[in-house]
Amino acid sequence: MINREKFREQYSYFDKEVVVQIIGILEDEYPTRIETLSETIRNKQIPELRKAAHAFKGMIGNFDLEGDSYRLIKDIDFKAHQLDDEIEKGRILSENEKNQIFEAFSSMLASFKIAMKQLMIDLNEIKSEYLD
């Protein structure tokens, strides 16, 4: 859940129209970014997952650094980054390890999707306040 007081404080210097546009960007890009995360997990693409999670984390950070959606994408980003670094240093994953790792990522993504639905509900409520 978004801390509305902090949100209003963070965006207090912006025109209402700009805030609505910024929220609109997330609304527009959210489905594609979720699909990209899903696809990289489904295809077991660690470098691509790392990049996609990091970019999404930055986008969500514009709205909610304290909520579940940010915490979950930050965790996905961190674990993908850590794993990618280990592989770059020579770690070789067995097929079993890879399956277990991506099952965990899949579970994390499922939780993230739920948190994102709540974030989008919160942002839509905020957006309607700025449209009034």
In the chain (132 residues long), the average pLDDT of successive 10-residue segments reads 89 94 95 98 97 96 91 97 96 95 98 96 93 81
Distance, CA of 2 to CA of 71 (rounded, Å): 12
Supply the pLDDT for residue 127. Answer: 94
Strand ranges (DSSP E) for 2-94?
Answer: none
Distance, CA of 11 to CA of 38 (rounded, Å): 31
Would you call 109 exposed, middle or buried from its count of C-beta atoms within 10 A (0-12, 13-18, 19+)?
Answer: buried
Supply the pLDDT for residue 111. Answer: 98
Supply the pLDDT for residue 74. Answer: 97
Residue 89 backbone dihedrals phi, psi, to 5 degrees: -85, 0
